[in-house]
Amino acid sequence: MTRHVLLLRETQLAEIRTHFAGAGEKEAAGYLSCGLNSCASDMWDRASVTKFLARKFFPISVESASDQHVTWKTDSFIHALHDARIEDETVALVHSHPSNFASFSAQDDQNERDLADLAQRRNGTASVLVSIVMLPNGALFGRVWKNPGRADPVDLIIVTGRRFTLHYANRGSGKSPEFLNRQALALGPAFNEDLSHLRIGVVGCGGTGSATAGLLTRLGTKYLALFDKDAVHQTNLNRLHFAGRTDAEMERYKVHVVADGIDAMGLGTQVKAYDHWISSIECREPLKCCDIIFGCTDDNVGRLFLNRFAYFYNVPLIDMGLAIDVGHGDPPRVNAFDGRVTVIQPGAACLLCREIISPIRARQESLKRTNPEEYERQKTEAYVLGEGNPSPAVVPFTTGLAAMAVEELIHRLQGLRGPNGSIEQRLRKFHLMTDRRQSHQPSADCPICGSQQYWNRGDIDPFLDITA
């Protein structure tokens, strides 16, 4: 059994809606070209996963239409198949049901069988046809034709952007566990249900990551993946949730310590732990299965990798960082006590354009990991800067930063802050007791966020078109 997911961007959905609105009470249609994210085995239910990543919408000129049917010439479909073959993409058909008919009609079955047949004859037997229907209230549902005789449902549609909107069968009719009752009183029952459908990754399990993982567990996350290569040290114990002195003495991996703590809570979160660098092959499939990522790492290579991943796979990255800068004196003079949360996804400026990642530092980190001897030699030759002093960190601030990041997810799923409540980058100056909203423009030459070439591109070789 394959789990099918469709990822759409809010701006693409707006294009589709505008096209459909132009048809008034009649049905209308278009194509979406889609990149692919194929995972052999989901980490939680072992099913294979195919995610279709919508890249571009092409409206169709119809031949005839009523409120119950729409027909068009197949020329445009053949053209779409031709382009899809060159780009290694899949074609998704999207059409409206202005009659509010919340299922596929007999007419849809017949049309789509023919199109699925055509797709396989033109683009090979591995070629599938995705079909999506939009109802007047904006609800979406879909199916995937693997061949003209078999259609499987699209299990989940996620629309990303300023808000994250989920579409799945029977949304709103599920029952949340009792421990989430008070939360449902505040946020509504659909929030709990939505969260239980998402696969969430936390990259980095230090001060901010362990706090984020703990908050996500209490919030009712069902599928959680933790990634971190480091072991617990005594100097982490001032801020690492779930970790004790014994963990530091045994130098246990942070991910296992945090995963054990989450398991012990017994709240139904199925947590998976990966003690590898995030760019390593061992983390690739688990990462690709995630729908949302929290970036809680402080290394440049890891951030750089996640930065590309967010655009290639349309997986929103909620990245956070704490910067404490103090001068001399007792107590030290505070220059900065800043917490930052940034939401990275197609349409937003990337972490490189925001100068949050240092490429030169990333190069040094890479050298240290792949050839420690050469790194040490270059340090003595003063070709590399070295790591400098350890960064200051204090638990209420690392934890508060994690709370800011998780709040952003809650708002984007549920909307509690109202229509202008999504914050692309929020900077909290803890010492000044102020929050600032920051916006950035992509650099024109940036291959990641300055053009759409990589957005929703999905699987290509090499992975992310980067050396890793």
Partner 1 sequence: MGFLPSRDRHYLSERNLKFEEVVHGLQKGLVLPQWTIPQTRLDHEQADLLIMLPDGYPDVPPDMFYLNPWVRIAATQQFPRMANVSFEFNEIHWQRWSRHNNEWRRGVDGIWTMLKRVEHALSEAT
Where along the sequence are the contacts to partner 1 (CB under 8 A)? 279, 300-301, 304-305, 307-308, 352, 357, 359-360, 362-363, 366-367, 369-371, 374, 381, 383, 443, 445-448, 450, 460-462, 465-468
Q: Which is nearer to partner 1, 330 or 445 (CB)?
A: 445
Q: How far is the CB of 468 from partner 1 (least distance, A)?
A: 5
Task: Please give the angle made by the CA atoms of 284, 323 and 422, to the nearest 5 degrees.
Answer: 65
Q: Which is nearer to partner 1, 338 or 365 (CB)?
A: 365
Q: Computed from CA positions of residues 188, 192, 198, 199, in that sequence, does the dihedral angle turn out positive or negative? A: positive
Q: Which is nearer to partner 1, 367 or 416 (CB)?
A: 367
219: closest CA among 182, 169, 253? 182
Residue 39, Cα to own-chain centre: how many angstroms? 15
Q: Which is nearer to partner 1, 39 or 130 (CB)?
A: 39
Type of residue at 419: P
What is the rounded CA–CA span in Å between residue 378 and residue 380?
5
Q: How far is the CB of 371 from partner 1 (least distance, A)?
A: 6
Task: Please give the angle made by the CA atoms of 219, 320 and 355, to the nearest 5 degrees.
Answer: 160
- Hey, which bits of 309-358 come out as E strands? 317-326, 334-344
Q: How far is the CB of 236 from partner 1 (least distance, A)?
A: 25
Q: How far is the CB of 152 from partner 1 (least distance, A)?
A: 30
What is the rounded CA–CA span in Å between residue 288 and residue 306?
11
Q: Which is nearer to partner 1, 359 or 421 (CB)?
A: 359
Q: Which is nearer to partner 1, 178 or 461 (CB)?
A: 461
Q: Which is nearer to partner 1, 188 or 447 (CB)?
A: 447
Q: How far is the CB of 125 from partner 1 (least distance, A)?
A: 24
Q: For the chain, first and last CA: distance in Å?
A: 31
Q: How far is the CB of 442 from partner 1 (least distance, A)?
A: 10
Q: How far is the CB of 400 from partner 1 (least distance, A)?
A: 30
What is the rounded CA–CA span in Å between residue 258 and residue 253?
9
Q: Which is nearer to partner 1, 334 or 446 (CB)?
A: 446
Helix (H, G, I), strand (E, B) or coil at 292: strand
Q: How far is the CB of 379 from partner 1 (least distance, A)?
A: 14
How many Cα atoms within 13 Å fall on the side-chain side of residue 241? Answer: 25
Q: Which is nearer to partner 1, 102 or 460 (CB)?
A: 460
What is the rounded CA–CA span in Å between residue 265 and residue 261?
6
What is the rounded CA–CA span in Å between residue 186 and residue 419?
18
373: Cβ contacts below 8 Å, ≥ 6 apart: none
Per-residue CA distances from 81 to 141, 143, 290, 439, 461 (Å): 22, 18, 29, 38, 22
Q: Which is nearer to partner 1, 85 or 429 (CB)?
A: 85
Task: Give the containing element (helix H, strand E) for 300.
Answer: helix 300-312
Q: How far is the CB of 352 from partner 1 (least distance, A)?
A: 6
Q: Which is nearer to partner 1, 224 or 449 (CB)?
A: 449
Helix ranges, 140-253 (H): 181-187, 189-197, 207-219, 245-249
Q: How far is the CB of 81 from partner 1 (least distance, A)?
A: 23
Q: What are the tokens at 352?
A: 């490189």
- Work out whether strand 292-295 and strand 317-326 pair parallel, antiparallel, or are unpaired: parallel
Query: What percent of the chain is helix, strand and coil (3-state, nearest 5)?
Result: 35, 25, 40
Q: How far is the CB of 15 from partner 1 (least distance, A)?
A: 26
